[in-house]
Amino acid sequence: MSELHVPAIDTVAIDAVLAALADPIRLTLVRALIAAEDWTCGSDVLRSTGITIGRSTLSHHLKVLREAGLIQTRVQGTRRLVALRHDDLTRRFPGLLELVAPPAAAPTEPGTSTPTA
C-alpha cells in the first residue's frame, strides 16, 4: 500500500486551486469529497454524484485535483482511495472549503432545493 505523490501544501498556489475548481465536474467531485469527510473509492464518489463519464476521464480529473493539491490518493489493492486534504486546505486557504461546500448543505433536510446555477 502506498500513497501517490502530492505537492506540499505550502507550494500550492490559489491560482492553481481556482483553475482546478473551474471545471464543473471537478467541483462536483470536491463537493462530494467534502461531504464524505473520509477516504472514498474514486469511482464511488463519482457514482454518488450521478455524473456519468468514462473511466479515463475520471482518472484525468482526479489527477488534476491531486496535482492542484486538493486531494490525496492511497493505493489499496486494485483500488484507489481518494480523500480531500481537508486539514491542509483549511490551514492554507481558510474559508475555501466553506465557499465551495454544497450550497444546500442541510444534512437533516434531504428535500431542500439545490439552486446550483
Partner DNA sequence: TCAAATATTCGATGCGCATCGAACATTACG
Partner DNA sequence: CGTAATGTTCGATGCGCATCGAATATTTGA
Positions in the binding site for its own copies (CB under 8 A): 10-16, 18-19, 21-22, 24, 27, 93-96, 98-100, 103, 113, 115-117
**Min CB(50)–DNA separation in Å:** 13
Nearer CB in complex with its own copies: 4/16: 16
For residues 53 and 8, the answer to whether their CB atoms sit within 8 Å is no
For DNA, the closer of residues 46 and 91 by Cβ is 46
For residues 76 and 98, give the distance between their C-alpha atoms in angstroms, rounded to a whole number. 30
Grid coordinates standing for 39? 477516504
Show the cell assigned to 44. 464511488
Does 69 engage in binding with DNA (CB under 7 A)?
Answer: no
Q: Which is nearer to DNA, 21 or 89 (CB)?
A: 21
Q: Would you mind telling me the total number of residues written for the chain in this entry?
A: 117
- Would you give the distance in Å from CA 80 to the centre of its chain? 14
**Under the rule (CB under 7 A), what is the footprint of DNA?**
22-23, 25, 41-43, 52-64, 73, 75, 77-80
